[in-house]
Amino acid sequence: MNLKKFFVVMLVVTFVLTSVIGVVTGFGASSSKLPYVKLTWYVIGTPQKDWDLINQKVNEYIKPKLNAEIKMTMFDWGEYNDKLQTKIAASEPFDICFTAIWTNNYRTNVAKGAFLPLNKPGNDLLSKYAPKTKKLLGDDFIKGASINGILYAIPANKEKAHNWGFIVRMDLVKKYKLEDMFKKVKKLEDLEPYLKVIKQKEPGVYPLGAYAGESPRFLLDWDKVVDDDVPVSLYPNNKSTKIVNELEQPNTKALFKTVRKYYLAGYIRKDAASVTDWMSDLKAGKVFVMPQSLKPGKDAEMSISTGYEWKQIDITPPVMSTRECIGSMQAINAKSKNPERALMFLELFNTDKYLNNLVNFGIEGQHYVFKDKARGIIAPGPKAKDYSPGLGWMFGNQFINYIYENEDPNKWKNFEEYNKKALPLLSLGFNFDDSKVKTQVAACKSVWKQYIPMLETGSVDPDKYIPQAIDKFKKAGVDIIIKEAQKQYDEFLKKTGRKK
């Protein structure tokens, strides 16, 4: 072979090897060709003792694949929103953060340019750096999470519907023979005789969990048009396309009166209006019944994350709303210095079973042990108390998660069936543009913070405080918001052909 032919052959071999390496890494190029970067990722949850250990293991795994490491930081439930708003306001160049409709608000952050557009025409980063994630989510889910046709965060691939109800502590149910509640409880009022038993016999337990931002209020399941802390909503059953002020509706007043009755009876924590970290009370065994957003197997998940056995009571029917599309997402900061690598990390996280489960469940043999490795069924390990975040719904693609042995082995099939039977709301995919009413929205959020925590925990008399709140919301401009929202929603219904 002459020298010229030898160089040609070597070039071909080099090209083939580079292509193979690119296929293996999933990003079309060897990680050695990429400059080393250090990413940052902020998430919400109850801080875990072995968090730094898991972070170390994550970096050992991703560095050969992405030539990157990541600093993972978890802020507690009650502080996450303020922490992230401070960081965004200060233009901190972090890379990835958790966002949703209920914390570190997705819509608000998009409006102020805080998040990177992922599929902008002419610069479709999602297709380039996260094509498998894009395929997993599907066009409908992506459209539902998009604002004006652009996606600004990656939704978690999980259940695509929700319903509301309660989770109930089973040790106390068995202790006091309260099993009939699972047949008799159909609404909030039906809980009363069971709460009374716990109040009389368990002085260290709050019979009903009701906290600022996590309370029986959610049983109304309002289809929120603006944000969670603005009372501009649709009824959650497609019975009307009229947007209303939820505080003016009779069902809201009736629920707040029941909660007030329970508060006066001593069923609710006295300082509940100022408490946001409800998970600590659940983990400390201080709550008997807790209102929760439900799905198949939610009770088993809560049993694992709190250390107490729970059983769920479904109250509202499952519906599919925009909330599911934007209720749990990972966004890339518009100020990120390495947005492409951040997206590559999220692609790996959503598609790599080992990495995904490492963050969700920790280290095999320590935080969990396999009971059936072939089927991905696990049990808590000897150090489970040091790492059990219970946040599969937040951490990416749930359909590649392991399943605990106390969970239904058909969990993911049940999710699919649950999604199918849910009622798709007419508003699915509607994202309100508040650019014309920003001042009014901000003012209403302030009023919400002043009144709703007191009302939703029963801390004040609704007959007195609901009229005050309504008056304050009107002065803040809630009717102007409703008018603008109705205009946009009518246009959305017409455009989508859903007008009743």
Report the number of distinct structural domains present in the chain.
Answer: 2
Shared domain check, 255 and 187: yes
Buried b (16+ CB within 10 A) or exposed e, 49-73: ebbebbbebbbeebeebbbbbbebe
Of 328, 347, 352, 353, nearest to 403 (Cα)?
A: 353
Strands (E), 268-411: 287-294, 310-314, 319-320, 329-332, 368-372, 377-380, 403-404
351 vs 27: CA distance, rounded Å: 13
Shared domain check, 122 and 195: no
* 255-280 per-position pLDDT tens digit: 999 999 999 999 999 999 999 889 99
Give the CA distances from residue 486 to residues 162, 324, 443, in Å, rounded to whole numbers and listed in that order: 24, 21, 19
Shared domain check, 169 and 151: no
Does the pLDDT value for residue 86 go beyond 50? yes
The mean pLDDT value for 328-337 works out to 98
Give the pLDDT confidence score for residue 10 in this predicted structure: 41
The mean pLDDT value for 354-376 works out to 97
Sheet holding 329-332, edge to edge: 68-75, 37-44, 96-99, 329-332, 153-155
Does the pLDDT value for residue 1 go beyond 80? no
Give the pLDDT confidence score for residue 363 in this predicted structure: 98
> Residue 258 belongs to a domain with what CATH number?
3.40.190.10
Does the pLDDT value for residue 32 go beyond 70? no
**Residue 2 located in a structural domain:** no
Tell me which of 22-36, 42-56, 329-343 is least confident.
Answer: 22-36
Helix (H) or strand (E) holding 41: strand 37-44
Give the pLDDT confidence score for residue 396 in this predicted structure: 84
Does the pLDDT value for residue 141 go beyond 50? yes
Give the pLDDT confidence score for residue 31 in this predicted structure: 61
Q: Which of 321, 345, 364 is the last residue of a domain?
A: 321
**Residue 113 located in a structural domain:** yes
Global pTM value: 0.78
Helix (H) or strand (E) holding 154: strand 153-155
**Residue 406 located in a structural domain:** yes
Instruction: Identify the band that residue 28 occupies on the pLDDT scale cut at 50, 70 and 90.
Output: very low
**Residue 12 located in a structural domain:** no
Shared domain check, 70 and 205: no
**Residue 464 located in a structural domain:** no
* 481-500 per-position pLDDT tens digit: 999 999 999 999 998 888 75
Does the pLDDT value for residue 14 go beyond 50? no
Does the pLDDT value for residue 380 go beyond 60? yes
Shared domain check, 305 and 167: yes
Q: Which of 424, 452, 470 is the last residue of a domain?
A: 424
Shared domain check, 168 and 291: yes
Q: Which residues contact 7 (CB under 8 A, 6 or more apart)?
A: none
The overall average pLDDT reported for the chain is: 92
Of 21-25, 56-60, 293-297, 426-430, the range with the highest mean pLDDT is: 56-60
Shared domain check, 258 and 141: no
Q: Could you write out the DSSP letters of every residue in 240-255?
A: ----EEGGGSHHHHHH
**Residue 443 located in a structural domain:** no
Shared domain check, 389 and 257: no
Does the pLDDT value for residue 333 go beyond 70? yes
Shared domain check, 317 and 355: no
**Residue 473 located in a structural domain:** no
* 35-63 per-position pLDDT tens digit: 999 999 999 999 999 999 999 999 999 99
Of 311, 312, 305, nearest to 283 (Cα)?
A: 305
**Residue 144 located in a structural domain:** yes
Shared domain check, 153 and 53: yes
Shared domain check, 310 and 346: no
Q: Which of 321, 347, 379 is the last residue of a domain?
A: 321
The range of the structural domain enclosing residue 271 comes to 163-226+245-321
Shared domain check, 316 and 167: yes
Instruction: Identify the band that residue 30 occupies on the pLDDT scale cut at 50, 70 and 90.
Output: low
Give the pLDDT confidence score for residue 140 in this predicted structure: 80
* 265-323 per-position pLDDT tens digit: 999 999 999 998 899 999 999 999 999 999 999 999 899 889 999 999 999 999 999 88
